[in-house]
């Protein structure tokens, strides 16, 4: 098995005015390709901070993060952005969809960003977009803009956007946090299917024990640290 993500003794201190907030106090985590990992823990324990660091949206105050062989910590901002574009699919708790674009337009934009900005060789992946949208039961909503979609549908578009480029890793911050049970089930089934069928690597923050139970491994965090268990709990 191949290690796709390594965090070594990662620390993060936020400075608020003259006060330092230690959000992460030495987190180490190894992730193999094809793992489906849940991160759980009380509010404020550092879950989102960890996810943002793993995906290169933030830089650590200490420690090291290696993503698919590339040291994110040593990389310049530009390099880190480039790695993130190529390897990471983010699902944020707030959907961050582009309001004036349709569902399909949001996917197309993600493809162009992935390919390196508006001038990049984006290619036309309408087939792939259609496939992803239909996997998420959105084929009839393809031409709707975010305001013409329900919350659950918007979350599914956000998920489609995260996976359309087949990133090495999907990082999802409470992807079912705002969803009813029906929409949660669609999102979780989609994750599970991608994990089993395509060996897609996924890290998902969740407060929901049922969602966590679908994952092959669960880590618990408290006060900026991983408390239990950090090794192969196979369900």
18 forms part of the interface with ligand ATP (CB under 6 A): no
| Cα–Cα dist 41/59, whole Å | 22
Nearest approach, Cβ of residue 218 and Mg ion (Å): 16
Cα(202)–Cα(193) distance, integer angstroms: 11
Residue 145 belongs to what H/E stretch? Answer: none
What are the start-end ranges of the H helices in the chain? 47-54, 77-87, 103-114, 126-135, 151-163, 181-198, 209-213
Indicate whether 176 belongs to the interface with Mg ion (CB under 5 A): no
Q: Which of 47, 84, 161, 216 binds ligand ATP (CB under 6 A)?
A: 47
Distances (CA, A) of 156 to 106, 159, 167, 235: 12, 5, 17, 26
Residue 184, interface with Mg ion (CB under 5 A)? no
Question: Of 36, 41, 48, 56, which lies in the binding site for Mg ion, with binding defined by CB under 5 A?
Answer: 48
- The answer to whether residue 228 forms part of the interface with ligand ATP (CB under 6 A) is no
Binding status of residue 16 toward ligand ATP by CB under 6 A: yes
Site membership for ligand ATP, residue 19 (CB under 6 A): no
From the number of C-beta atoms within 10 Å of its C-beta (0-12, 13-18, 19+), residue 197 rates as: exposed
Q: Which does 55 bind (CB under 5 to 8 A by kind): Mg ion, ligand ATP, none?
A: none
∠ CA 163-129-179, rounded to 5°: 55
Among 14, 120, 209, 210, binds ligand ATP (CB under 6 A): 14
The span of 47-55, 143-151, 154-162, 226-234 binding ligand ATP (CB under 6 A) equals: 47-55
Residue with tokens 């098995």: 1
The residues of the shown chain that bind Mg ion, judged by CB under 5 A, are 48
The residues of the shown chain that bind ligand ATP, judged by CB under 6 A, are 14, 16, 21, 23, 41, 43-49
């Amino acid at each position: 098995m191949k290690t796709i993500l390594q965090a070594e003794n990662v620390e993060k201190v936020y400075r608020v005015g003259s006060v330092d907030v230690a959000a992460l106090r030495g987190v180490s985590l190894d992730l193999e390709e094809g793992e489906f990992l849940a991160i759980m823990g009380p509010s404020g324990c550092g879950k989102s901070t960890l996810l943002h660091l793993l995906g290169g949206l933030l830089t650590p105050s200490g420690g090291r993060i290696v993503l698919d062989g590339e040291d994110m910590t040593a990389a310049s901002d530009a390099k880190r952005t480039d790695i993130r574009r190529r390897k990471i699919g983010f699902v944020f708790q707030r959907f961050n969809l582009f309001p004036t674009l349709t569902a399909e337009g949001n996917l197309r934009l993600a493809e162009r960003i992935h390919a390196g900005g508006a001038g990049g060789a984006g290619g036309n992946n309408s087939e792939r977009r259609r496939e992803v949208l239909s996997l998420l039961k959105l084929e009839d909503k393809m031409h709707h803009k975010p305001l013409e979609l329900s919350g659950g549908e918007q979350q599914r578009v956000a998920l489609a956007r995260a996976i359309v480029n087949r990133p090495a890793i999907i990082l999802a911050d409470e992807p079912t946090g705002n969803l009813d049970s029906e929409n949660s089930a669609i999102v979780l089934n989609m994750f599970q299917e991608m994990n089993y069928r395509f060996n897609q690597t996924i890290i998902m923050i969740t407060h929901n024990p049922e969602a966590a139970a679908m994952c092959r491994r669960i880590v618990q965090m408290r006060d900026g640290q991983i408390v239990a268990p950090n090794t192969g709990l196979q369900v």
